[in-house]
Amino acid sequence: MIRPAVELAAAARPTSPLTVLVPTCNEAENVAPLLHGLQAALGGLPEARVLFVDDSTDGTDALIRKLAPGLGIEVDVLHRERPSGGLGGAVVAGLASARTPWCVVMDADLQHPPELAPALVAEGERSGAQLVVGSRYRAGHRAGGFTGPVRSLISRLCTRLVRMAFPRTLAGISDPMSGLFAVRRDLWESAELQPEGYKILLELAVRTRPSSVAEVPYSFQPRHSGESKAGYAEGMRFLRHLTRLRMSGTRGRMIAFTLIGASGMVPNLIVTWALVRAGVHYLLAAILANQAAMLWNFVLIDSVLFHHRRSGRGRRRLARFAVLANADLVGRIPLLSLLVREARLGPVWATGATLLAASAARFVITDRALYRPAE
């Protein structure tokens, strides 16, 4: 008889100690069935334990503490009085306090089958992978747990988007949005994680670039009780997270910096046009328009691209940025005349070349001096 892949996977037993890490936010109605599921799954594994990282206000933590003693498995609760980073922040806090060589991250609402926790670790041991992802998109399962076609569609679109953004890193991960995965200690300790909301697996995969990843298929179950906490705000957070991850390398930052700089053309031309129409001399208009473009660039660069490296007062950052943006003019003019007279470039090509060179120089100064990374 051919057994389905899920059943096969669930039968595997690991030998390494492991922690099942469960982030909880108001899951009082789910923790009892979850704990019973985990009791069955982990029973007989002497070095398996459960760690809840709880941000609830409904007494979920107290309930877990009440239920835990009768179960015969070790259960800890880390309750965060001042939660930060949402679901991802909770997972990172749990990883930091876990003591075992493996952690399995799993939702509390029984959308992830508890019996898969040991199976994921067993698969990691068998394959040598540092990261084992529970995948809803592999053959041998149904992803029936989405509440309605809209959520299912959104999830699929996000998966597409994410895979397009990181084609190489995510080549071996069919479900990069999964909330169910096992991770080996050397991997999670190798990166400084900056979680932001739900997509902690994505954060982990992109920041650590694991050399090998395994997958275990499973069927996504309907939520046992209560509602998903993901909504519009979480969606926006996801887009911000994705942008930030994409820009985390120097090359990505430089491309974004150049694009932002180029987008400054728009306010520049609008202001020039308006001023000239109002009768201002075109040279004065050009200088003023340059300041408008500079402000536009500053807002985008300061609030998006280098948001995480900001220090000191906003006014001071703006002043330094303005000096750099205008110094640019001073530096470009001699370079321009050199290119036209010595290299015999046409003035338009020469201007284009000086703009690119100035943008690269501004990027290096901005990246290394104005928004210096923390040591």
Length of the chain: 375
User: Quick check: 208 binds ligand GDD (CB under 6 A)?
Assistant: no
Which of the residues 215 through 254 are near Mn ion (CB under 5 A)?
228
What is the rounded distance in angstroms from the CA atom of residue 37 to the CA atom of residue 232? 31
Question: Which of 21, 25, 45, 206 touches ligand GDD by CB under 6 A?
Answer: 25
Our CA dihedral for 326, 327, 328, 333, rounded to 10 degrees, sits at: 110
Task: Output the smallest distance, CB 69 to ligand GDD, in A.
Answer: 22
Cβ proximity to ligand GDD, 204 vs 300, nearer residue:
204
What is the rounded distance in angstroms from the CA atom of residue 246 to the CA atom of residue 242? 6
Question: Which of 21, 63, 177, 350 touches ligand GDD by CB under 6 A?
Answer: 177
Choose the contact partner of 177 out of Mn ion, ligand GDD, none; CB within 5 to 8 A by kind: ligand GDD
What is the rounded distance in angstroms from the CA atom of residue 179 to the CA atom of residue 192? 19
Which of the residues 224 through 243 are near ligand GDD (CB under 6 A)?
228-230
* 3-state secondary structure at position 198: coil
Distances (CA, A) of 342 to 99, 110, 336, 339, 350: 66, 72, 10, 6, 11
Question: Which of 27, 54, 55, 109 touches Mn ion by CB under 5 A?
Answer: 109
Binding marks (x or -) toward ligand GDD, 133..152, rule CB under 6 A?
Answer: --------------------
Question: Which of 10, 21, 23, 110 touches ligand GDD by CB under 6 A?
Answer: 23
Residue 371 phi, psi (nearest 5): -120, 65
Cβ proximity to ligand GDD, 196 vs 328, nearer residue:
196
What is the rounded distance in angstroms from the CA atom of residue 29 to the CA atom of residue 49? 21
User: Quick check: 87 binds ligand GDD (CB under 6 A)?
Assistant: yes
Minimal CB distance residue for ligand GDD: 179
- Order across the sheet with 131-135: list the strands: 74-79, 48-54, 18-24, 102-105, 181-184, 131-135, 213-217
Please report, as ranges, the residues that interact with ligand GDD according to CB under 6 A. Answer: 23-25, 27, 53-55, 83, 86-87, 90, 107-109, 111, 155, 177, 179, 198, 228-230
Please report, as ranges, the residues that interact with Mn ion according to CB under 5 A. Answer: 107, 109, 111, 228
